[in-house]
A and B are shown apart, each in its own frame.
Chain A
Amino acid sequence: MVKKIAGKLYVSLIILFLYAPILVLIVLSFNKSKSRNKWGGFTLEWYQSLFKNDDIMTALYTTLIIAFLSAIIATIIGTAASIGMNSMKKVPRTIMMGVTNIPMLNADIVTGISLMLLFVAVNYTLGFSSVLLAHITFNIPYVILSVMPRLKQTNKNTYEAALDLGASPMKAFFKVVFPDIMPGVISGFMLAFTMSLDDFIITHFTRGAGVNTLSTKIYAETRKGIKPEMYALSTLLFVSVLLLLVIINRRNDSISKKRSM
């Protein structure tokens, strides 16, 4: 009995420590008072002014566009690369895996600066497209990382079976192999999307003067002092990621239920 209570207490403490900062943030986003340690009553004022702030809205739009585009493109390239690597012989495949893993382990600042240097060296104007290219670059390894294990699990014979039953190689891939690796592709896309949303350092080095994503915008704003709008913005980001996760988890649950029927 005591053990049970102690266990529950322990778990509660962990959750509290994990989520207390976010909870504080959410509470503050509804705080009428601008002070961080005084409750001045409930308000939606910060949310309203947030949506009226064109700069922030533009940054949000840019962030989402870059996250979406870079995730989509990285997913396509990464999935294709995984398929190619999967059919390689063992030694070249291990080497390729190593090569694709390095950018993930590399410090963001190094990746950021080297990308910037590259763009400058080839006279590529920094701006929206350079940020997009940079995001695609650092997203590809994450896609490969989540697609590869799925591909290795799939029975190689299913592709051959589809060919055997008369499907063209293209059709066999999309009807049989792709549905099999779909969960890996989706989680790769999600991972890439999140990484892109999350990124500050690489964006910071590869963006031009006019381009701002949310993270670079928040950074610029906080240098002038943190405004309550930022709490509201961060709360919205947190809630959307949370919703996304819930949706994906439920989807996976219903798939596994259908399977075990």
Chain B
Amino acid sequence: MILTEESVRKIKEKLQQYPQPKSVILPALTVAYRQVGYVDADIYREISHIINIPTVEVAEAATFYTMFAKKPRGKYLIQVCHNISCALLGADSLIGYIEEKLGIKIGETTEDNLFTLVTVECLGSCATAPMMQINQDYYEKLTKEKVDQILEDLRSKA
């Protein structure tokens, strides 16, 4: 089993709330994603057993939604918005700055497996651009100074 007892309990709790079990697919994927950091065929199978629906239905949904990473990433997933409002305030140069700082390109993970850098579309933080999301947290109105501080804090926490 990949999913912990705690995760299974959370998914079963959702089953009690929803009118139909299939609706629990997305909540279950969210629980799994938060625990594991990605979802894959083994996880689809475990979820399908818990909510008692065919595995293919879990896979079908999971592969549609881009937020659920399909393979392991670094401990911290840095997602920089490069849509219009952020781009107007320098998202491209922000991405370049992080690439240089971490010595990786978009889509890559640092050698110590700490940081993965990806670009994402609008995250609804347009009036506080430029911004990035690291794992669940938003970091807004970014400046070079702030980015330095954020990465340093995460590194010392790891």
Task: Say whether A associates with B.
Answer: no
A residues whose Cβ falls under 8 Å from a Cβ of B: none
